[in-house]
Structure 1
Amino acid sequence: MRRAGAWQVACVAAAVLCAGNFARGQTIDDDVMVYGKVKRPPVLTLDPFEGEISLTNAYENSNSDTQKSSSAQFEQRLKLGTGGGVISKNAIAWKGSITLGLREEWNSTTGSETQSSWGVLHEYDLDLSLFPNSMLPSSYWARRGENYINRSFAALLRQEQTSYGAQVSWPNMTLPMYLRVYHVETVQQELNGTNPFTLSQDTVEYHTETMIGDRQKLSLDYQLTTGETNGAGEAEELGSQHLMVNHTLNIDPEGRYTLTSRLDYSQETGFINYDRLRIDEQLTLRHTDRFETYYNYSADYQSYPTSETLTNSLTGGFTHRLYESLTTSGRVGYSTTERSSGGASDLATAYLNFAYAKKVPLGRLGAFLELGYATGTTGETGTAQEVIGDTETFNDPLPIVLTERGVNGSTVEVFNATGTKKYVENIDYRVRQFSDRVEIERILGGDISPNETVRLNYDIDPLPGYTQTTSTFGFGARYTFKEGPLENLALYASYRQQDQSISTTDPDRLQPDDSQTTLAGAEYEFWKLTLTTEAENRDSTLSPYKALRFSARYVDRLGPRSRLSINATQLFLQYPDEDAEAQYTQLSGRFDYDFTREVRMSVWAATRLNEDSRFGDTLAFEEQAEIRWRHRQTEITGAVRHTYVTSSSSGDSTSFLFLLTITRRF
């Protein structure tokens, strides 16, 4: 074999060097080589700037029986934003905007002179990402913004919110996790500076999960929050922590038999004070595609400022599906509860349900049959029992009803869902005590929103020991037409019966509640309308009532430029034992119209009438109109809003708002 000459070796070496340089040049996006040199990208890249100039004028006038106030504001803002990267956007990427401006205010209230002030306003929105595609990506943010909050039948709120934080992640295939730390500060008040509310919180969050072999999954979540709040003149230090550990084991390779374990620990301090530790174990056995059973054990320990409670529960159940039409389910359970204040209890329950669904001529038929039985004994309680952080939801327009025996209405306190804001009785809500229940009513024009979820604190008065047995029986059916002249019509009816017996040393305080409840209704969708009517009659030894419900919804696109929606609901209630009646009527509508592609208008209105022979009447109106004009980079928005509430128990209140914003983007 002939040996390569020196010139051949030199040619090969030169080719390798050239290829290396060429490959090196290709690693840099769009690099250009000139005579063997690489044009390197800049270390710092900067995206084109974007900005806007805006002018906002707001005027609000609010009147009530006790105070009259007016507020005017004029704001001028300049906003600039950009983004970019360092080395490359795969290394360090950032984007942000900053807003600076001036605000002038004029406020006046009854009995005082008009006060004027001015100040500097600032907003920002900054995001930074470090090595997003690496094994340890991290992100950082800082934000501050202002916005307005519309409250149902109430004056506008101005909200300022500041937040900053960081997150570090480890996207490992075996043990992914992240750590997030952030601070949030919220300030809310009406435009005239009244009704202030502040909340400041620091939070740490951690999450991780892993697969143990092919059949086990383990996850852990932890959150720690500290802070303080101040509203309605009441300040409170807040704190909470929550730890949740979940473990899932697929016993067999197909995943038909599953064991799920959960440990849930939570603690809160502040308005709501408690420690809670709950352990759940559930074994689910899917014997066939149509039959499965489950077995559950739970231990629930709760510690309150003056009492402790421990509940142990065992539950077993099954579900059987016969073809596609009949589903049978049942469960049995037994639980014991120990209380430091006395009143230890035990409860045994059983439940059986048959659900039938079948395609029938012209539609579909659904029916159910249910049977229930419960028996238990509760010992005498020597002192009042605390209930802390009970979660309830308003079903507007109805009040929240607490039916637990012995609830003391004078001890009820209401908070928002996170427990950070305390609502004010007789301003945001009112409490009514009855012999067999406690009702919590949302006041129109208050801070509580329609259908809001809230948390409650209250006491249960000492009760004598008793043994209670309850049996239930119910059945019902629903027929839905899917074709023919009655297409989309649904008819339904149900009957439920409860028989209860109580053995106690004080039968005057603890009375059984025997009831029979019948319900019948219809739903019909045709054209652009949805109509619902429903009648309910509850014949009860403690709290009988009759209810008649109507609702209608109309949605229509009147043309290529207009849309209309109208909602109407009405509820009639009768309370025979109290010789009382109540009526709730609500009507709302929205109309949107596009004059051109640049000019759009929206009009929204609502009215609410509550009539109650026991507690008086309330009438509320709310109207709002907005017009928006946008041409290229210029936008002008004008809005007017009016609210009016008159109540026989809390007097009259009204508010008027005018808002004009002019924005120019560049």
Structure 2
Amino acid sequence: MLNQRYDKTGSRAVKTERNQSVLLALVFCGISVLSIVGCNINVRGKQRPLLRHDRIHGEVELVAERRTDEQGTSGNKRKGKTKVIEERIRLKTEGDIYHPDFFFYTAAVGLGLAQQSIDSDAVSEKDRESLNDYNIFAQLLRSKSYPTTFNASKSEELIARQFLGSLRTERQTEGVSLLLRSKTSPMTFQYNTSKTDQDELTSLAADFFERDDERFRYSLTHEFSKSSHLSFDFDRTEVSQRSLGVSQNTDTDRYSLLHDLSFGSDEENRLDSVFNFADQSGSFDYKNWQWEECLRFQHSRRFKTNYDLRFSELKRETFKNQETRGRAGFEYKLYDNMVTTANIFTSKTDLDTQGDIKQNGGSVAVNYWKNNPWGILFSTYTASLTKSEQSGGAGTGVVIDESHIFTDPLPISLDRVNIDTSSIVVTDNTGLNVYTEPDDYTIAEINGRVQLNMTTLGGIPPNVSNGQEIYVDYNFFIEPEREEDTTRHNFTIKERFNNGLSLYYAHRRQDEDVSSSLTEITPDEFAVNTVGADYINKGLFLQAEYSDEDSTQIPSTNKMLQGRYSWPVNKDTRASLRVSNHWLDFDEPDDRDIELFKSGAEIFSRLTDEYSISTRAEYRDEDDTRFGSTRGFQFNSEIQYNFRQLSITAGVEINSLDRRNDTIDGDFLYFRLKRFF
């Protein structure tokens, strides 16, 4: 069925949607003719054309790209080479009908052609495809109390890929928005549709993706008084998504009601009320509502109290979760440089057939800083106690979007125990990019707990990056009875000297008492001691750190050295250099050592008023006694020329990765020229 998109020569048959761009170009020209020939009208005593537009501007663009890739061992390599040429012309203008405050518009239209030559193990052919785009924006009665905005756009782009032909992406959007201006109750009505199509240029058409979105939104804000405000939002979204072998359709309604009230002699106290409800049907059904009250009292300049109460319920096809949670706390400034906070909480969660969970606990924290003759002293201490009791449950539980921050190269420990590792799904925080095992991560189960060993050097995009937030979904087996008592202590002290040097010490400790009627679980107890020093002087940063963790799960030591230097070579040139080395030693039951060396450099220079150059290089050298060695190098360089109405960009990207006896090498050359008129 997919191959019906191509004719006998391998080129895609002309789609009916392309006629829209041709029609739009004719309309564009028609408007121009009418604006020249059309009638004149009298506006505020002055003669002017009914339809008026500014000078038509345009641009011509030429893009040439070449990509080569190799992957495999010396005796078994796959290769791919792709060449792409894009040619485009765009015209744009702006104008109005009768008066800019009556109807104002901007319009742009573009026509283009892409030619691709690919030679790989899977396919060898030449293809070409039109690349058309338009963008229309209009405002009706923009200075009135009921302005209306219209927009319509379409774009067609190519995305280069390793070992495969370029991926053609077409995006088309339309929308209208009505704003009702009011001093006390402004409203907004919005309706938008969007369509995204992705498919290959080659005749194989092995990859395609389609997504249709239709959205209506209504929002209202109301000011009862200067101290009382209300806002309401309704959002309905219909999504249809299709790819090879997969089709998903969801209809989602979201309601949000918020109210805030300030009270007191100086309106120093505040009450916030929040109600949210979401109802989704289709491929994934769920209902979720949440009601929360937050009360804040400012008793004096130094003393505050806060109270929170929350009710929530989540219903899925085979899962139900009802939770009631309350919290109370205070903040007290004994001195301006010493702040004490404390809170207590209680919660009860009804998991339907999966049992009940009761939690009680509290925490206290002290933050202190002090100027001294040598610099500034900072210190913090936090202690917390949590008692958790689960009873009456059985079966399988579900965790959705458990959030973690990946710190390279440290592993990620999942929160639950008794996890079904075959059910683990890892995504980015949008949920759109799914990471795969073992390319992006590996799974290790130690003492009843599951760890994910992530890597930033996956061979198949998308890749994980250091410091990125990831979401994890999984199933876990519920124990009929389980009790946990967890105590945590955190202490830090740091002296920042006047000369830029800092010395610091940190201690983290967790004690846990766990009992289960189903399995014997090793408590997650640890004591971590960290000492370090850093130095900051203008663009220079140096750091050395040593950390020792005594743990019932995986004892380890962590040593780290890193440095960064950024300096302006002159007023037109800036350079930076960074280097780091990590030594991680894990003891039994996960006995392995990791040594990771990373370095990088960047430089940007404006050579003349017309020329500029930027270069970036990254190197990674990792030795893991379990997973082997990884060597990676990436180099990017780009030169730009801008003079009057001419812009030229040329660049090169070189990548090399040797990971687990698999080598991936690639280079990407590109040239882009734009001429404005």
1:568, 1:270 → 2: CA distance?
A: 50
* Pair 1:448 & 2:463 matched: yes
Q: How does 1:478-627 map to 2 (within 5 A)?
A: 478-481=494-497, 483=498, 487-506=499-518, 508=520, 510-577=521-588, 578-627=590-639
Q: One-letter code of the match for 1:573?
A: L
Shift of the alpha carbon at 1:263? Answer: 0.8
* Pair 1:128 & 2:138 matched: yes
Which deviates the most, 192-201 or 579-588? Answer: 192-201
Shift of the alpha carbon at 1:591? Answer: 1.3
Match of 1:105 in 2: 116
Match of 1:237 among 249, 252, 265: 249
Secondary structure in 1 matching 2:353:
coil
1:233, 1:567 → 2: CA distance?
A: 45
Structure 1 pair 353–272 and aligned structure 2 pair: CA distance change class (3 A)? farther
Q: One-letter code of the match for 1:545?
A: S
Match of 2:98 in 1: 87
Shift of the alpha carbon at 1:389? Answer: 2.9
TM-score norm. by structure 2 comes to 0.86
2:462, 2:165 → 1: CA distance?
A: 10
Structure 1 pair 564–196 and aligned structure 2 pair: CA distance change class (3 A)? farther
Structure 1 pair 415–206 and aligned structure 2 pair: CA distance change class (3 A)? farther
Structure 1 pair 351–198 and aligned structure 2 pair: CA distance change class (3 A)? same
Q: Is the CA contact 1:153–1:643 (under 8 Å) kept in the aligned structure 2?
A: no
Shift of the alpha carbon at 1:320? Answer: 0.5
Deviations 1:473-493 (A, max 9, x none): 232211112x3xxx2222221
Match of 1:281 in 2: 293
Which deviates the most, 425-434 or 379-388? Answer: 425-434
2:606, 2:388 → 1: CA distance?
A: 64
Q: One-letter code of the match for 1:183?
A: T
Shift of the alpha carbon at 1:526? Answer: 1.7
Supply the RMSD in Å over aligned alpha carbons.
2.7
Match of 2:647 among 614, 618, 635: 635
Q: Is the CA contact 1:146–1:161 (under 8 Å) kept in the aligned structure 2?
A: yes
Pairs aligned (count): 623
Match of 1:414 among 403, 422, 426: 426
Structure 1 pair 158–448 and aligned structure 2 pair: CA distance change class (3 A)? farther
Deviations 1:210-265 (A, max 9, x none): 11234321111232222233457544324433322111122335222222111122
Match of 1:303 in 2: 315
2:209, 2:666 → 1: CA distance?
A: 20
Which deviates the most, 307-316 or 239-248? Answer: 239-248
Shift of the alpha carbon at 1:417? Answer: 2.6
Q: How does 1:187-198 map to 2 (within 5 A)?
A: 187=197, 197-198=209-210
Match of 1:378 in 2: 390
1:304, 1:404 → 2: CA distance?
A: 20
Q: Is the CA contact 1:152–1:444 (under 8 Å) kept in the aligned structure 2?
A: no
Deviation >4 Å, runs of 4+: 146-160, 187-198, 230-233, 267-273
Q: How does 1:391-406 map to 2 (within 5 A)?
A: 391-406=403-418
Match of 1:40 in 2: 47
Structure 1 pair 488–200 and aligned structure 2 pair: CA distance change class (3 A)? farther
Match of 1:69 in 2: 80
Q: Is the CA contact 1:380–1:466 (under 8 Å) kept in the aligned structure 2?
A: no
Secondary structure in 2 matching 1:448:
coil
Q: One-letter code of the match for 1:141?
A: N
Which deviates the most, 651-660 or 260-269? Answer: 260-269
Secondary structure in 2 matching 1:341:
helix
Match of 1:54 in 2: 61
Q: Is the CA contact 2:652–2:667 (under 8 Å) kept in the aligned structure 1?
A: yes
Deviations 1:508-531 (A, max 9, x none): 2x2222221112222211253111
Q: How does 1:213-228 map to 2 (within 5 A)?
A: 213-228=225-240
Deviations 1:155-184 (A, max 9, x none): 997654332212111121111121222223
Structure 1 pair 258–665 and aligned structure 2 pair: CA distance change class (3 A)? same
Deviations 1:191-218 (A, max 9, x none): 8787655433222222211112343211
Shift of the alpha carbon at 1:334? Answer: 0.7
Q: Is the CA contact 1:153–1:444 (under 8 Å) kept in the aligned structure 2?
A: no
Match of 1:206 in 2: 218
Structure 1 pair 624–269 and aligned structure 2 pair: CA distance change class (3 A)? farther
Structure 1 pair 265–569 and aligned structure 2 pair: CA distance change class (3 A)? farther
1:143, 1:506 → 2: CA distance?
A: 59
Secondary structure in 2 matching 1:136:
coil
Q: One-letter code of the match for 1:619?
A: R
* Pair 1:390 & 2:402 matched: yes
2:441, 2:186 → 1: CA distance?
A: 46
Deviations 1:47-88 (A, max 9, x none): 111111111111112222374222211111111110011111
Unaligned runs of 5+ in 1: 1-36
Percent pairwise identity: 22
Deviations 1:583-642 (A, max 9, x none): 233222211122211111111111223332222232222111111122221222111112
Q: Is the CA contact 1:274–1:388 (under 8 Å) kept in the aligned structure 2?
A: no
Match of 2:37 in 1: none
Unaligned runs of 5+ in 2: 1-43
* Pair 1:143 & 2:153 matched: yes
* Pair 1:471 & 2:481 matched: no
Q: One-letter code of the match for 1:353?
A: A
Shift of the alpha carbon at 1:187? Answer: 4.6
1:492, 1:515 → 2: CA distance?
A: 20
